[in-house]
Structure 1
């Protein structure tokens, strides 16, 4: 039996890169994935690659509570349950301290921290109905040490713990 046989996992930032790798691994291990991302073309292509019985793509802005509610409803409506969340979405726009304005800093805060919080809060009721599950919050070493040109990323990459 595969490790994730029949388990349904929502992956934010799932259209490419690390999120896509996570999706491919989960499906290879028998799971089903809901790919949430702003990159619609890439997300739809990955969902098609993984197959309609294993993957669903939907546009997800992690900073919007309504988008999270829609993603959870889609996961349950399509696959019958939700067992996990990978809070993978994050941004990094390199700028020095003096180049970083409040709007850029706030954008990092909204995506890298608020998005994680909203996602965690949104999935818990569905996961409880499914009998439990797991939430994985992806972060960066930028949250552990500063780097030149990474003030906003470093300050916002300590993710919430559920």
Structure 2
């Protein structure tokens, strides 16, 4: 992956976002910022970043929830950057789909090295769309909405989960366990 990679930073602390924006931009990366989880998920869906830097302590939703929702439709590498330093929290984030975990405070050189390593490992061209459309049906995985002829369809969590799984794997048989 080239140095022109796009990195989305989701962190509620303006000074951290500014520090990361300056540090990453100085290395040639394009940086997009979000101050909360909902804004971050929207930015991820709109801009399709090459890597996500995610704080776990966000004002509107827990970072673990952001990670779960992001993983429903994206395989882009995620680097968690958090003050939460317990082993249990790190394990939960890594098991939940994070690719790496850095605790605050952190050294910028190590942070940048981890960014480069994650971008090297990123699968090229394996970006899944945040919204899938089949005829008049749209399944918006980023916003967890279903539209039929541009009218929102109300679904239960289970119904949405089944439909999203089917939409992600068109033409395949999906087992009950999946």
What range describes the TM-score normalised by the shorter chain of this pair? 0.3 to 0.5
Q: Give the TM-score taking structure 2 as reference length.
A: 0.37
Higher strand share: 2
Q: Which has the higher contact order (CA 8 A, sep 6+)?
A: 1
Q: Which has the larger radius of gyration?
A: 2
Q: Give the TM-score taking structure 1 as reference length.
A: 0.40
